Amino acid sequence: VLLDVEGMMCGGCVARVRGQLMQDYRVESAAVNLLTETAAVKLRPGCGKEVGSELADLLTGSGFPASLRSGKGQDDNAGRKIEELSKKRKESLRKSTQKVAFAWTLVALCCGTHATHLLHFYPFIHDFMHSPVMEVAHDPVFKCVVALTTLLGPARDLVVDGGKAFLKRAPNMNTLVGFGAWAAFSISAMSLTIPELNWGAPFFDEPVMLLGFVLLGRSLEERARIQASSDMQRLLSLIPAKSRLQVSEQANDENLTVDVATEQVRAGDRVLVLPGEVIPIDGTVVIGRSSVDESTVTGEPMLMTKTVGDTVSAGTVNWDGPIQVTATCTGASSSISSIIKMVEEAQGREAPVQRLADTIAGPFAFAIMALSASTFSFWYFLGTHIFPDVLLNDAAGPEGNSLLLSLKLAIDVLVVACPCALGLATPTAVLVGTSLGAKQGLLLRGGDVLERLQSVNAVVFDKTGTLTQGHPNVSTVTSGSNDFDKDRILQLAATVEQHSVHPIASAIVEQANTQKLEMLVSEGQLTEPGYGALARIDGKVVAVGQPRWVQECCLKLDSMESTDEVERKLGNLLADRQSMEQSSTTVYVGVEGVGIVGAIALSDTLRADAKVTVSRLRDMKIRTLILSGDRKEAVASIGRTLGIEGDSLFAQLRPSDKSKFIAKLRDGGSIVAMIGDGVNDAPALASADVGIALKLQNKIDAASDAASVILLGNRLSQVLDALSLSKATMSKVYQNLGCALAYNLIAVPVAAGVLLPGYDFALSPSAAGGMMALSSIFVVSNSLLLRLHR
């Protein structure tokens, strides 16, 4: 189930939401995303969807308003939720900007007097400094009012949220900042109202500047988050709001159209798309011919020619001429909606390295509060006695007061610590990386996939449809029996294969149609992945596929010829045996009671980018292998062309054999990526560390469902793009985590006063607040640099 969760501020909030969910015995796992404000929950077997509503109520009661994302039309909900989240963030940014303007106006009122001191040598500035207005501005009571206005005005939501979190025993980032600001204000107020303390002049400017820096940082961070998620917003904006619905009964009448909302178009409706317009729905061209820019969906920059019978996708651009398209998928069912949904799900899946950050961020606020108390205790009871010179620092006031120094250092510790940077380190990079992948025609299913993909050291290819074009043509038909001529063999094979979507089956049926051979009456069609297909024709079983399997289907075992004998007999009859061995795939046709009666050789073309892809992988020190269900000769021919050694070529494998082979590779220490395209590749894709599927015919099939990465552009070279992007994304993740950890490991001790004894250096609360804000801004900005990756 997918929950929309509000109110998460930092990594600590993420850890608490996950902890609340995992406490429920019905939850098997939970992945919480700070940026997309979602929680993807995997329930234990036997639990119904109603559990999702109960979990949402549980989170709401814990201070994190949550709602269940309905399953019906979830693709559409995903897009709508992204739009809502974008609007919410823009509204939040608008309010945040107003608060920043208000806060920094107060900063100017409270601290502007310091700037005039620097410019007092100018006559008009000197006169202004001694005016009644400046006398009021210098008055500690006025500064007290300004500080209180800041706490109760622009910083009110921050302070209240922090207080509520503390009362619920779940302190967050706002708790630390709020406590720090109130403590600084309280110390200044005590200094003002109790002069006997001899703490010197109050420092009401400190809480004002502290909150000014924090609010400015939050505003800049929110702006950076909006930029990080802007790629998803662009995907949503690809679909035009209006469509030209064809209402004329005349198929060739292009004038009788009516503009309707795209969401009202239904499957079967005909839509007119003019040159320069975005195609609003998935469908099939029924009238016209044009060039279409599919780069928004596949990442392919070249224009694709579309004519009658070709499929087009929503979000692509029609260039040359008007076309009429019959809708096949609309709204939530369209390719672009499916992509948006899968990208959102991917952004919700956390990388394993994120668990380290969340483990630290969870108890972070408690640890910092304890460290703040320890800092106060050390300096008040021991430190000023061990290092008496520290009382000469300005932080101790003019009288060198140990209580004042200890309080200020404790405040610095509260304010400088930043769990937000840790919480944002991984999700911001994953969000930018997966969104960038979608723009390039790569569907990467989450941070965990990116982390595994960057470590891949072995890539396994299927052959047919993966290394080859997947559009084989019948090159030779041969008969091994006087009772079956070539046309009869092709007719039998086409009848058996007519309901299959396998490329070889399609090629056989297409050749039969070309020769105008009629399909025979058949029944009981059955496809055995990796072996072939069979059906009953004229009361007899006819099988098409691998020779041994065909024999088993058509003859008793004790009367079978060996596979070698059958292949040798048919090979002598083939017109071009040498050509078949080098570049063709052969399927055998058998009839019940007779055995194998003929063979059909099909030739396929190597993909244009196959050779360079394999070569580049070798240059990256990645082992390449081919696992195929095809004949040894065909696999060896492909291997020679691509430069893959014989010990990395494996032929005549069933789908289960491929899965076992990949499991063996993984047991040997290899991180394996499997690349395939068809239903029979699904088990192998699922068993690999990373399954990579080529997307064919504008649909998500079983191979795509089992894969971790989908190549929407159907180009083999996109494997290199995926590897490059995964390495770049994980590099940003490690940079972010390293910087966030380093910041806290350095800043917190400095704030606690470790440099006071030797270097007489101590932070002020406002400086600590500025550093804390900058650490989060750096992490988000560093992730945004990933958008420059090419």
Query: Which residues are the active-site residues?
Result: 462
Could you tell me the two tokens for 232? 């998803």
Q: Which residue has the tokens 């998460």?
A: 8
Angle at 412 between CA 402 and CA 735, to 5 degrees: 145
C-alpha to C-alpha distance for 498 and 521, rounded to whole angstroms: 11
C-alpha to C-alpha distance for 126 and 740, rounded to whole angstroms: 45
Question: Over 327-353, what HEC string results?
Answer: EEECHHHCHHHHHHHHHHHHHHCCCHH
Diameter of the chain by CA atoms?
Answer: 119
CA 550 to chain CA mean position, Å: 44
Interstrand relation of 690-694 and 709-711 (parallel, antiparallel or unpaired): parallel
Using alpha carbons, select from 187, 204, 207 the residue that is nearest to residue 401.
187
Cα–Cα distance list, 66 to 3, 14, 53, 61 (Å):
6, 13, 9, 9
C-alpha to C-alpha distance for 609 and 300, rounded to whole angstroms: 13
DSSP letters, 537-578, are ETTEEEEEE-HHHHHHHHS-GGGPPPHHHHHHHHHHH-TTHH
Using alpha carbons, select from 405, 388, 454 the residue that is nearest to residue 199.
405
- Who's near 274: CB < 8 A, 6+ residues apart? 244, 318, 322
C-alpha to C-alpha distance for 737 and 743, rounded to whole angstroms: 10
C-alpha to C-alpha distance for 60 and 63, rounded to whole angstroms: 5
Could you tell me the two tokens for 178? 């709020």
Question: Over 97-152, what HEC string results?
Answer: HHHHHHHHHHHHHHHHHHHHHHCCCCHHHHHHHCCHHHHHHHCHHHHHHHHHHHHH
DSSP annotation of 502 reads: S
C-alpha to C-alpha distance for 412 and 752, rounded to whole angstroms: 7
DSSP letters, 477-501, are EEESBTTB-HHHHHHHHHHHHTT--
C-alpha to C-alpha distance for 759 and 753, rounded to whole angstroms: 10
What are the backbone dihedrals phi and psi of residue 63, each rounded to the nearest 5 degrees, phi first? 100, 10
- Who's near 6: CB < 8 A, 6+ residues apart? 37, 64, 65, 66
DSSP annotation of 24 reads: S
Asked whether the beta carbons of 615 and 511 are under 8 A apart, the reply is no
Could you tell me the two tokens for 455? 């470590």
CA 240 to chain CA mean position, Å: 24
Q: Is 714 helix (H, G, I), strand (E, B) or coil?
A: coil
Amino acid at 684: A
What are the backbone dihedrals phi and psi of residue 667, each rounded to the nearest 5 degrees, phi first? -65, -25
Asked whether the beta carbons of 222 and 69 are under 8 A apart, the reply is no
Cα–Cα distance list, 298 to 280, 440, 681 (Å):
16, 7, 22
Cα–Cα distance list, 151 to 102, 156, 569, 656 (Å):
12, 6, 93, 66
